[in-house]
Amino acid sequence: MVANPVRPKDSAHVPRHIAIIMDGNGRWARRRALPRVAGHQQGIKPVRRTVEYCASRGVEFLTLFAFSSENWHRPPEEVSGLMALFFEALDRQVADLDKNGIRLQFIGDETQLSGSLKNAIHAAALRTAKNTRMTLVVAVAYGGRWDLAQAARKLARDAAAGRLDPESITEARLGSAMQTGRLPSVDLLIRTGGEKRLSNFLLWDLAYSELYFSDVLWPEMNDAELRKALEFYAKRQRRFGRTSDQVGKLNC
C-alpha cells in the first residue's frame, strides 16, 4: 500500500482509515413511496461527496460496504438492480477517480459476481493502481465471517501441504491471510441510518475502532455529518488496552 504523501497539519486527529456502512437507502425510498432501487440510485451521490471530503481531509483509506454476503438473500429484483447499478456507477466514475488520484481496490467473494462485473472490477483496480492520494476500498459480496473463514482455509491448506507449522499461526499471520490483510486497521467506523450494529462488516479490523452511529439516511449524507463524525473521532482517547495515564505519557 502507498500511503498518502501529504497529510494536513491536524493529521493526528484525522483517521487514517475510515470505514462506512451506508445504510438507509431503502427507508429513504419508502418514505417517498418509491421503489427501493430508487434509494440505491440516490445513494450514489453521497458516495462521491464522501470520497471527495475524505481525500481533502487527508484520510488515506476509505472502505465502503457496498453489498454484503447476506444481501444476496434480498428480493431477486433488488439484487439484480443493485448489481446493475454498481456496474453502471463503476463504469461512469472510474475515470474521474483516476483523474483525482484515487486508487480503487475491492474486497469480497468474487465467485458470487458475474464475469462482466469481475472484469470491470479488475480493470478499475489496474487503471488506478499507481494513484496515491487516497485508497478507496469497495466491499462487494463481503462478510466479516466469510473473510475469517477463507483466511482459515488458506492457512489450513498451507499447513496440510507442509508449508506452514500450525504452531506458527499468530494473530498477525491470520490477519495477513484476510482480504483486508494489506490494509491498516480501521480507525473510525461510520454507520448511517440510525441502526447500531456491525452487520458482519470488517469484524477483525474493527477490534479497536471508534464507532460513530448517525441517524442520517445514507442518501442524505453530507459534509456537515461527516464533519461531526471526524469531530467525534478527534475527541476520543484511543487507549488500545492502556490506561488514560499511560496514553498521556506516550503522547508527551
pLDDT digits (tens, 9 = 90+) for 40-58: 999 999 999 999 999 999 9
Residue 80 lies in a domain: yes
Residue 163 lies in a domain: no
Decide: helix, strand or coil at residue 127: helix
Residue 161 lies in a domain: no
Residue 55 lies in a domain: yes
For the chain, give the mean pLDDT.
90
Residue 37 lies in a domain: yes
Query: Sign of the CA dihedral 183, 3, 7, 95?
Result: negative
Q: Is this model's pTM higher than 0.85 or not?
A: yes
Give the domain CATH number at 241: 3.40.1180.10
Residue 89 lies in a domain: yes
Crossing angle of helices 115-127 and 76-99, rounded to 10°: 20
Q: By mean pLDDT, which of 61-70, 123-132, 173-182 is the weakest?
A: 61-70
pLDDT tens digits for range 3-35: 344 444 455 689 999 999 999 999 999 999 999
pLDDT tens digits for range 185-228: 999 999 999 999 999 999 999 999 999 999 999 999 999 999 99
Catalytic positions are 23, 71
Residue 187 lies in a domain: yes
Residue 22 lies in a domain: yes
Number of domains in the chain: 1
Neighbours of 125 (CB within 10 A): 15
Domain housing 240: 11-149+183-250
Query: First vs last Cα of the chain: how many Å apart?
Result: 30
